[in-house]
Amino acid sequence: MVQRRLIPTYIFLIICSLISVFPLYWMIAAATNASLNIARGSIAFGDQLMVNFQHLLNAVQGTLWSSMRNSFLFSTIQTLFTLFACSLAGYGFELYHDKNKDRLFGIILLAMMVPQVATLVPLYKLVSDMNMLNTVWGFILPTIATPFMIMMFRQNSRNFPPDIMEAARIDGLPEWKIFFKMYVPIQKSTYAAAAVITFMTSWNAYLWPKVTMREASAQTMPMFIANITSGYTVDYGMTMLGVLFCSLPTMIIFFVLQKQFAEGITGSVK
């Protein structure tokens, strides 16, 4: 009887799952079709995959692989620096309590309400004066430490047992060893969740790279996709194949780390 009551729920969940997966299916199917078939609304798989791939390779002066390389390089470096900086800040804010630090943390949280476009001009002037345009450092510098990531690590740092830290200090363990050998292993799920969020945000970034990455050799995948759709006529098959290429790295990272991602996000809101 209990199982029969759950049948409508299962049917509803299956329908919702199919609706959620359909855009991904349509993107893959469209990548194998000609532009005309896509415009006609075809959702079946076609035989134009290699043709679309060849057009994609030749698009925008053949910068597909360099754009993929730039996006992967920039996103990876930003993820590593963000994990280190934000985890260190969250560790310090939570495990070394001080009234002034709490006030500073409140100011950092207020920064979450400032839109990116409000800081675009001063950040561009800063990066330009430091001669960092068209470089990886100009890409990652403004977003190495974000208020959300610092808050996330601070919240999860509350699960770190203070007795272990006190015992380590009594044994003479330096603070940096406490952080790297004790704190980091305990917070693995938090690091995984933060890595997924940071990598996806960096990979999908468009506005800031568009402003700072002016040379074709420094463009990222979102810029590449925007460039191939900016002509008088749009090749939908080539465009959807490009979108598929752009989506694959983030999908792979999410599926690999989805369990740790769920654990890390759950721990951050306890």
- Closest C-alpha among 165, 111, 171 to residue 143: 111
Q: Considering only 15-29, 92-106, 110-124, 206-220, which range has the smallest mean pLDDT? A: 92-106
Longest CA pairwise span in the chain (Å): 72
Give pLDDT, residue 199: 93
| 243 close to 219: Cβ distance less than 8 angstroms | no
Would you call 231 helix, strand, or coil by DSSP? coil
Question: Does 225 have pLDDT greater than 60?
Answer: yes
78 pLDDT band, cuts 50/70/90, is very high
Give pLDDT, residue 270: 45
Model-level pTM? 0.86
- Closest C-alpha among 73, 72, 88 to residue 191: 88
| 147 close to 89: Cβ distance less than 8 angstroms | no
| 159 close to 190: Cβ distance less than 8 angstroms | no
Question: Does 2 have pLDDT greater than 70?
Answer: no
Give pLDDT, residue 143: 84
Question: Does 122 have pLDDT greater than 60?
Answer: yes
Per the listing, tokens 């996709």 go with 225
77 pLDDT band, cuts 50/70/90, is very high
CA–CA dist 133, 236 (Å, integer): 32
Q: 228-258, pLDDT tens digit by residue?
A: 887 677 888 899 999 998 988 888 888 888 8
